[in-house]
Structure 1
């Protein structure tokens, strides 16, 4: 016989494409991108967008909208930290935090009620 050990089977093919999300799953992840964005900042919508952007156009659009708003809020937080030197930064930071949670929750409700989501400022940082 042969002195060589038996060969192992070839490794599985690199990542197979994931199936599209069902309507219920798409609605759930779209809503969570808004709600978690209001709580956790830009990281939650960023992760949801990166994971589900190829599986649902609806989730991609909604998470991108939440991500753009949360990135704008993050810029506001940075400005607030600078303004904390003159104490007004504490008020602007608190106002941004409350508005972020408020708009995250209202847009979460809008997604669950199948209405259009809106933010007061719609800057397209991520296109």
Structure 2
């Protein structure tokens, strides 16, 4: 009979149903917050979940931190788009950057939530590592 190896937080390596639910919310909170705040507060949802679960569950902490860090990269792309927009000549490129940032944000957050539902960790393709 095999026993699960405990992680540093004293839990088994297989996430529980509650951990999977909060990890899913950690990924989707960015989309939900973006819709509610017209995009301005998309980082708040993952940050709140990370703050609550950082010492309770490594699985939820990693999910929320990954979502937050990826959101920072999306925000950086959107800010670069605004800078391009104000140069006037780069307006078409700014629109492309915005579309790519929004579509990538939706796509990867949804894929990450689906992975969390299966109990798997998801690694975002790019991020600005602030939370761990």
The number of residues matched between the two structures is: 107
**Structure-1 residue corresponding to 2:19:** 26
Query: Partner of 2:96: helix, strand, or coil?
Result: helix
Question: Which of these two proteins has the greater Rg computed from alpha carbons?
Answer: 1
Root-mean-square deviation (Å): 1.9
Q: Shift of the alpha carbon at 1:116?
A: 3.0
Poorly superposed stretches of 4+, deviation over 3 Å: none
Output the CA distance in 1 between the equivalents of 2:58 and 2:119.
15
**Structure-2 residue corresponding to 1:82:** 83
Output the CA distance in 2 between the equivalents of 1:116 and 1:55.
16
What TM-score do you get using the length of structure 2 for normalisation? 0.72
- Unmatched segments (≥5 aa) in structure 1: 1-19
Where does 1:14-53 land on structure 2 (aligned, <5 Å)?
23-39=16-32, 40=34, 41-53=42-54
- Unmatched segments (≥5 aa) in structure 2: 1-10, 35-41
Q: Shift of the alpha carbon at 1:126?
A: 2.2
Output the CA distance in 1 between the equivalents of 2:108 and 2:116.
12
